[in-house]
Each structure stands twice: as C-alpha cells, then as structure tokens.
C-alpha cells in the first residue's frame, strides 16, 4: 500500500510498495540514483489514477530510483513545478502545454517555460457542453443569455470554455450568470434548475455526465468543425461524441478534443526518461485496468501533436521502437 504523508504541503505520496498487481517488467539500471516525483492532479481524477499505476510500474522497473506521487491542482501547476525542478514527470492538457511553452499570459504563463520536454502523447479530453433538455438549448448560439458554468477559475476546463465560446462569438458578458464550479457541483445545480448548462472537459462517457443524464434529460451541445478551426490552436482538434454515449443521445455529435501529454524537463537524466517511457508502453494493460481513458494511449501516435521538443531519453525509446526513423 502507499504510505501517505498527510501533512506535506506538497501533497506528496511516497510509494512504500507496488501492491499486489503483477507486472511483466525487467529492471532497468540507472547510471545514478534518481528521485522521480510524478505530478498528477486531484485524487478523484484520471491523472491521479494513472499516476498511481505508473508509479507502481516504475517502482518495480527502476530499483535504483525512489518514486513518489504528488497530487496537484492539475496541468498548470504541474508545468510550473516541472520548470522549477520540483517534479520529474507530469500529466498535462495540450492547450496548457502550448500556452506554457509560448508564455501565453492569457493561459496564465507570464513567460515561456523553456525547460519542458515532451515524453508521450496520451489520450484525449472531449469538450462536452451539457445543457438541461428543459432549457431548450440546442446550439452554441442558444447559450446566450443563459446561466452557465465554465469550470474552476483558471482551470483547464475554463481555458477550454473561453476558447470555445470566443470562437463561437460569445463572451462572459453574454451570460447573466457565470459560475466557476467543478462539473460535479454544476451538475447538482442543473438538476435543481438553478443552472442551464455547464462545460466539462473529460474522456468520453464521463461518469459525472452519465449520472446527470440518468437523473434528468440532457442535451450535449454540438461544437462544429468550423468553431474548432476558429479557435486557432492546434491543440484543439475536431472530434465526435458517438451516438448513445449518454442516455437520450440519439446521434453522433461533433465537438473539440484536446490531447493529454506526459511531460518532463531538461534536467531529468536521459536514462530515467528512457526507462519510464519504455516501461509505460510495455505495461499499457496495467494503465487500462487503472482507468479506461488509457485505451487512447497508442505507441504509433505518441509523438504527434505536441509543440514541445521531446526529451532525448524518450527519443531514444521511440527510435528503438521504430516510431522515429
């Protein structure tokens, strides 16, 4: 089990053992002893679930490393911690990664985080604008004048909301009420008819959306490819929410998808990043068992979509695997 220091201001979780799961691993020796702090997200999120699984994998595969797990506020905090050398590997959404690399002030980065290095493209988050059926909302234009929720302040969800709304010709001034809440909190208000719609950035079939759809009739608002193109950020790609993903959803719906990435920084050794990248792809079934979102992780697409240069250790693995010629 994991030994948890509940008083740590950095919310660090030290792995005391790898648990009972069986891993097909060959230990990889490092040139020197490494501390590998894995930066995740909140304890209830996908990042944390996958981070626990990866930490167990790496603890088994890298006997010369001390692997720890740190719960964080998510992508933006993870990227700043990496830049400061206070973590070795982290999860992040692609749009925040792009903003951090460029030093986009609108995304919360006053200057470029130039020490970041890509490790692997992972799975995608889908922008899901969920409205109550009783609200009559069917299109993005219908949102004007309604009560909406856009995610916690400065979260990745809010960044997605601002980008999509702006591309659709809308801004916060167009709404009488804009709540900065998690989707779980927003769903409760939609059920109580205190809110008309909320944006959720998550994997397909998100449990929170499924639960809301079973409680009250909902509508998923389509985000057309023309709106995705108007965002003007390569991190946003056209995607589809397949019919029947949620109760009452009868047809395929267009939306925007933003890829998640695993990133490191230039100060982490090539040997460590090589070993982490290799053992992650060697143990994808373990990640899928930890969370179904990991089904979207594929070796053949691991090097696509990132604006940040790859770490030399990751490049070494991709060359060996035949992904990079």
pTM, two decimals, is: 0.82
Q: How far apart are CA 163 and CA 190, in angstroms?
A: 23
**pLDDT of res. 280:** 98
Residue 41 lies in a domain: yes
Residue 306 lies in a domain: yes
Q: How many CB atoms lie within 10 A of CB 29?
A: 9
**Final residue in a domain of this structure, among 258, 273, 302:** 258
Q: How far apart are CA 220 and CA 136, in angstroms?
A: 12
Q: How far apart are CA 121 and CA 303, in angstroms?
A: 6
State which residues form the domain around 229. 125-258
Cα 91 to chain centroid, rounded: 6
**pLDDT of res. 2:** 37
Could you tell me if 218 and 212 are in contact, meaning their C-beta atoms sit under 8 angstroms apart?
A: yes
Identify whether residues 93 and 182 lie together within a single domain.
no
**Final residue in a domain of this structure, among 240, 258, 276:** 258
Identify whether residues 133 and 248 lie together within a single domain.
yes
Q: CA-CA distances (angstroms) from residue 324 to 23, 120, 206?
A: 27, 13, 33
In the chain, the number of structural domains is: 2
Residue 196 lies in a domain: yes
The single residue listed with the structure tokens 């299109």 is 139
Residue 29 lies in a domain: yes
* Pairing verdict, β 253-265 and 236-241: antiparallel
Identify whether residues 72 and 138 lie together within a single domain.
no
Residue 77 lies in a domain: yes
Residue 129 lies in a domain: yes
Question: CA nearest 308: which of 119, 157, 123?
Answer: 119
Per-residue pLDDT of the chain (325 residues; tens, 9 = 90+): 333 333 343 444 444 333 333 444 566 877 677 899 999 988 878 899 999 999 999 999 998 899 999 999 889 999 999 999 999 999 999 999 999 999 998 888 999 999 999 999 999 999 999 999 999 999 999 999 999 999 888 788 888 999 999 999 999 999 999 999 988 899 999 999 999 999 999 888 888 899 999 999 999 999 999 999 999 988 899 999 999 999 999 999 999 999 999 999 999 999 999 999 999 999 999 999 999 999 999 999 999 989 899 999 999 999 999 999 8
Identify whether residues 9 and 95 lie together within a single domain.
yes
Contacts of 243 (CB under 8 A, 6+ apart): 249, 250, 251, 252, 253
Identify whether residues 171 and 58 lie together within a single domain.
no
Give the bridge partners for 265, in sequence order: 116
Residue 94 lies in a domain: yes
Contacts of 154 (CB under 8 A, 6+ apart): 76, 108
Tokens representing 100 are 């951090």
Q: What is the DSSP code string of 141-198?
A: GGGTTSEEE--STTSHHHHHHHHHHHHTT--GGG-SEEE---HHHHHHHHHTTS-SEE
φ/ψ of 147, rounded to 5, equals -90, 120
Identify whether residues 275 and 198 lie together within a single domain.
no
**pLDDT of res. 26:** 63
Residue 325 lies in a domain: no
**pLDDT of res. 25:** 57
Identify whether residues 116 and 48 lie together within a single domain.
yes
Which CATH number belongs to the domain containing residue 222 in this structure? 3.40.190.10
Identify whether residues 168 and 266 lie together within a single domain.
no
**pLDDT of res. 30:** 78
Identify whether residues 152 and 274 lie together within a single domain.
no
What three-state secondary structure class fits 271?
helix
Q: How far apart are CA 108 and CA 125, in angstroms?
A: 20
Identify whether residues 138 and 217 lie together within a single domain.
yes
Identify whether residues 189 and 264 lie together within a single domain.
no
**pLDDT of res. 3:** 37
Identify whether residues 245 and 265 lie together within a single domain.
no
């Amino acid at each position: 089990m994991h030994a948890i220091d509940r008083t740590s201001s950095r919310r660090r979780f030290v792995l005391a053992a790898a648990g009972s799961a069986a891993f097909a691993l060959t230990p990889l020796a490092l040139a020197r002893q490494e501390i590998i702090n894995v930066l995740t997200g909140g304890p209830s999120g996908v990042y944390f679930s996958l981070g626990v699984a990866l930490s167990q994998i790496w603890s088994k595969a890298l006997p010369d490393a001390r692997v720890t797990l740190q719960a964080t506020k998510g992508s933006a905090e993870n990227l700043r911690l990496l830049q400061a050398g206070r973590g070795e590997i982290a999860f992040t959404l692609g749009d925040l990664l792009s903003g951090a690399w460029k030093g986009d002030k609108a995304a919360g980065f006053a200057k470029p985080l130039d020490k970041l290095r890509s490790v692997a493209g992972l799975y995608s988050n889908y922008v899901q604008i969920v409205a109550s059926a009783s609200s009559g909302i069917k299109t993005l234009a219908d949102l004007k004048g309604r009560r909406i929720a856009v995610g916690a302040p400065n979260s990745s969800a809010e960044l997605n909301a601002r980008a999509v709304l702006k591309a659709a010709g809308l801004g916060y001034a167009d709404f009488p009420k804009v709540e900065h809440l998690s989707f779980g909190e927003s769903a409760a208000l939609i059920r109580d008819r205190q809110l008309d719609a909320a944006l959720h950035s998550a994997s397909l079939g998100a449990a929170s959306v499924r639960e809301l759809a079973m409680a009250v009739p909902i509508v998923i608002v389509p985000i057309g490819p023309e709106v995705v193109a108007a965002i003007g950020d390569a991190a946003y790609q056209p995607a589809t929410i397949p019919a029947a993903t949620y109760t009452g959803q009868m047809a395929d719906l267009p939306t925007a998808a933003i890829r998640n990435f695993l990133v490191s920084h230039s100060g982490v050794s090539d040997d460590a990043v090589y070993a982490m990248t290799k053992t992650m792809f060697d143990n994808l079934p373990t990640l899928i068992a930890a969370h179904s979102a990991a089904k979207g992780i594929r070796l053949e697409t691991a090097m696509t979509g990132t604006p940040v240069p790859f770490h030399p250790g990751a490049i070494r693995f991709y060359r060996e695997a035949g992904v990079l010629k």
